[in-house]
A and B are shown apart, each in its own frame.
Chain A
Amino acid sequence: MLRMIGQRLMTTIPSVIGVIIVTFLLTRVLPGDTAAYFAGPAASPQAIIEIRSKLGLDQPLPVQFVSYVAALVKGDLGTSLTTGQAVTKDLAARLPASAELTLAGLILAMAVALPLGVLAAVKQGSWIDHLCRIVATAGVSLPVFFTGLLLVYVFYFILGWSPAPLGRLDVFASEPPRITGLFLVDTLLARDFETFRGALAQLILPAVTLAIFSLAPITRMTRASMLAVLGADFVRTARASGLTDGKVIGTYAFRNAMLPVVTTLGMVFSFLLGANVLVEKVFAWPGVGSYAVEALIASDYAPIQGFVLTMAILYVALNLMIDVLYGVIDPRVRLEG
């Protein structure tokens, strides 16, 4: 198992190198004079030249790349002009908010999509199968920001069930002591149940929005792979041996059907990390996505580059985790690796 993880780790190295090169190119080679930008609109040509040499922008590109990588290794992604803080610090402060939202969305989506997909496959052609097909078709057509706004209108404005879509906590509530950064976990650890309820109420709508968005691919994949497995010989053998339906579907079919679903999770994460940006904007969620959007509006480039790089590294790491998970589910992968 360890050897497999090690080998898989080696294959992520080219991806990471590619990601770093692309983000570097996005900062340096493309049009727009970075030095003039950092100097501000009122700067004299002399000042721009000084800043250019201070930032090392007058060096040849390979030299710039080396110093870029050296700064990266030290965790230096530059300074945000709007917040005046180091980008790394800003991102670290806001990452838990995004992580909490994304995880909640994913867990919700799985909680609905897996049973729905399995039932649709087991009871093929029934109403639940049709429901599954509708979910899979509608889910990919819904713009995620539009779903979010519809939910806000219905559950905040008409029904008044959910709080105003303004961040992670009510303005008057105080944040729980920071342990994990995930409010739901931190409030429970601090035994502050009132804040927990408040944080949960704020989280539900954005999490549901993300869940609706990622429901479609998971449902479709679960249904398809469950159908394939149910038609396999070993399932027929299990049935013929007189095992109960629960045992055949739950133990024999489900675990095997999970393999392609876990693979799809990689694609789902790609969608989720992008959709996160839009959902955070709709719900004024103080995560990394809205940080990047604020920076975009202010033409503040360092945070955007830092955000793109962080998301890409995170995504590569998530794919690595998915592969490891694959090995946990399927012993054959472990043996081959």
Chain B
Amino acid sequence: MNDMAKVEPVPARAIPAEPVPALRFEAPPSTSLWAHARHIVAENPVTGLAFGLFALILLAAIFGPSIVPYDPLASNTNAALQTPSRAHWFGTDQLGRDIFSRVVAATRLDFSIAIFSVALVFLMGGLAGVMAGFYGGWIDKVVGRVADTIMAFPLFVLAMGIVAALGNSVGNIVLATAIINFPLYARVARAEANVRRDAGFVQAARLSGNSDWRLLLTQIVPNIMPIMAVQMSLTMGYAILNAAGLSFIGLGVRPPTPEWGIMVAEGASFIVSGEWWIAFFPGLALMIAVFCFNLLGDGVRDLVDPQRRN
């Protein structure tokens, strides 16, 4: 991060640019990101827990399918509906599939849906918002109108409608999740780009003969990245929750595939007869993942917020 970014407070919507207190410059000028991360974690152990959980989820997503004890798709009717035991940590479902293996293997799919939808909405919403904030005028009006129209729907209902119309596939779940988050990203990016449009460093870059596109990519975008990163980690949890909700009602993911939402749906009918573990463990995994991403959002905010960097 260069010195310019230190002078410019990132949540500039809320705080008018105040003179930077002289105290800040007495801090060691170059602390590494890693040292700073350690400081944040030491200050708030909950953030440490969130980063630890995140690492665990990441490992499960990468290596999960290859390290699980059983084939997540292999059914074994002799071992159907077994309670959690040493052989089957999370028990088995109605087809005798090992739930632990399925829960771990499902991480990759759920995590990818969240990552891809967040990446997609970051590109769509971020680009639209930055253009709207930088140029204003008709682009601003169009982006604002599109965002307003999306916000006029109850978001989960809109996602249902989109997946139903576009066709029942995982790709469309990603797209629908991205679309319902569009207003959020577009608005943040717009506000952040708008306050920087006429900032001194942008004017200076413009006077040195840079084109609009260069200004956007080298001056505006790098400076709004921190707040977008916070936004992305905050929406990850919502994206996973939304995708799992859609597959719970039978959209997107097809039955034999291990995925948390659909596994909860499969176990739902067994709850009333007391086989709790079928729905419980995938639901728990989902809950932990969402909880982790929500905490992580706060952690990332601490990490990138220049106000707290010292």
- Chain A nearest Cβ from B154, distance in angstroms: 4
Contact of B165 with A by CB under 8 A: yes
Neighbour of B160 across the interface among A22, A164, A308, CB < 8 A: A308
Knowing A22-B149, A31-B167, A145-B245 touch, does A274 contact B157 (C-beta < 8 A)? yes
Q: CB-defined interface of B253-294 with A at 8 Å, one 1/0 digit per residue?
A: 000000001001101100111101001100110110011001
- Please state if A277 and B157 are interface contacts (CB–CB under 8 Å): yes
- Please state if A152 and B165 are interface contacts (CB–CB under 8 Å): no
A-chain residues with CB within 8 Å of residue B237 when the two chains form the complex:
140-141
Knowing A15-B149, A146-B283, A311-B153 touch, does A23 contact B294 (C-beta < 8 A)? no
Neighbour of A14 across the interface among B145, B153, B251, B271, CB < 8 A: B145
How far is it, in angstroms, between the C-alpha of A94 and the C-alpha of B206 when the chains are bound?
Answer: 60
Q: CB-defined interface of A1-42 with B at 8 Å, one 1/0 digit per residue?
A: 000000000000011101101110011001110000000000
A-chain residues with CB within 8 Å of residue B160 when the two chains form the complex:
277, 292, 296, 304, 308
Residue of A nearest to B240 (CB): A143
- Chain A nearest Cβ from B44, distance in angstroms: 13
Contact of A232 with B by CB under 8 A: no
Interface residues of B in 148-164 (CB under 8 A from A): 148-149, 152-162, 164
- Please state if B248 and A145 are interface contacts (CB–CB under 8 Å): yes
Contact of A68 with B by CB under 8 A: no
- Please state if B250 and A293 are interface contacts (CB–CB under 8 Å): yes
Residue of B nearest to A23 (CB): B161
- Please state if A277 and B283 are interface contacts (CB–CB under 8 Å): no
- Please state if B152 and A30 are interface contacts (CB–CB under 8 Å): no
How far is it, in angstroms, between the C-alpha of A27 and the C-alpha of B162 when the chains are bound?
Answer: 10
Contact of A270 with B by CB under 8 A: yes
- Please state if B164 and A304 are interface contacts (CB–CB under 8 Å): yes
B-chain residues with CB within 8 Å of residue A269 when the two chains form the complex:
154
- Please state if B161 and A149 are interface contacts (CB–CB under 8 Å): no
Contact of A275 with B by CB under 8 A: yes
Residue of B nearest to A315 (CB): B154
B-chain residues with CB within 8 Å of residue A273 when the two chains form the complex:
154, 156-157
Q: CB-defined interface of A110-149 with B at 8 Å, one 1/0 digit per residue?
A: 0000000000000000000000000001101111111001
How far is it, in angstroms, between the C-alpha of A281 and the C-alpha of B264 when the chains are bound?
Answer: 12
Contact of B249 with A by CB under 8 A: yes
Neighbour of A296 across the interface among B162, B250, B261, CB < 8 A: B250
How far is it, in angstroms, between the C-alpha of A182 and the C-alpha of B162 when the chains are bound?
Answer: 31
Knowing A15-B148, A153-B271, A316-B152 touch, does A32 contact B167 (C-beta < 8 A)? yes
How far is it, in angstroms, between the C-alpha of A305 and the C-alpha of B148 when the chains are bound?
Answer: 20
A-chain residues with CB within 8 Å of residue B286 when the two chains form the complex:
143, 146
- Please state if A311 and B157 are interface contacts (CB–CB under 8 Å): yes
- Please state if A277 and B165 are interface contacts (CB–CB under 8 Å): no
Residue of B nearest to A21 (CB): B149
Q: CB-defined interface of B123-162 with A at 8 Å, one 1/0 digit per residue?
A: 0000000000000000000000100110011111111111
A-chain residues with CB within 8 Å of residue B241 when the two chains form the complex:
143
Knowing A19-B153, A141-B294, A165-B272 touch, does A308 contact B158 (C-beta < 8 A)? yes
B-chain residues with CB within 8 Å of residue A252 when the two chains form the complex:
none
Contact of A282 with B by CB under 8 A: yes
Interface residues of B in 162-185 (CB under 8 A from A): 162, 164-167
A-chain residues with CB within 8 Å of residue B155 when the two chains form the complex:
270, 274
- Chain A nearest Cβ from B7, distance in angstroms: 29
Contact of B121 with A by CB under 8 A: no
Contact of A104 with B by CB under 8 A: no
- Please state if A149 and B156 are interface contacts (CB–CB under 8 Å): no
How far is it, in angstroms, between the C-alpha of A159 and the C-alpha of B148 when the chains are bound?
Answer: 46
- Please state if A156 and B152 are interface contacts (CB–CB under 8 Å): no
Contact of B189 with A by CB under 8 A: no
Contact of B244 with A by CB under 8 A: yes
Residue of A nearest to B267 (CB): A149
How far is it, in angstroms, between the C-alpha of A153 and the C-alpha of B272 when the chains are bound?
Answer: 6
- Please state if B271 and A301 are interface contacts (CB–CB under 8 Å): no
Knowing A14-B145, A141-B290 touch, does A277 contact B272 (C-beta < 8 A)? no
Knowing A141-B291, A149-B264, A308-B158 touch, does A301 contact B153 (C-beta < 8 A)? no
- Please state if A308 and B153 are interface contacts (CB–CB under 8 Å): yes
- Please state if A164 and B272 are interface contacts (CB–CB under 8 Å): yes
- Chosen A-B contacts, 21 in total, with CB atoms closer than 8 Å, are A15-B148, A26-B162, A31-B166, A32-B167, A143-B245, A143-B248, A143-B283, A143-B287, A146-B283, A149-B283, A150-B283, A157-B276, A269-B154, A270-B155, A272-B154, A273-B154, A273-B156, A274-B157, A278-B248, A308-B153, A308-B157
- A153-B274, A277-B157 given; name 5 further pairs at CB < 8 Å: A18-B152, A143-B261, A271-B154, A274-B157, A296-B160
Residues on B facing A (Cβ under 8 Å): 145, 148-149, 152-162, 164-167, 237, 241, 244-245, 248-251, 261, 264-265, 267-268, 271-274, 276, 279-280, 283-284, 286-287, 290-291, 294-295
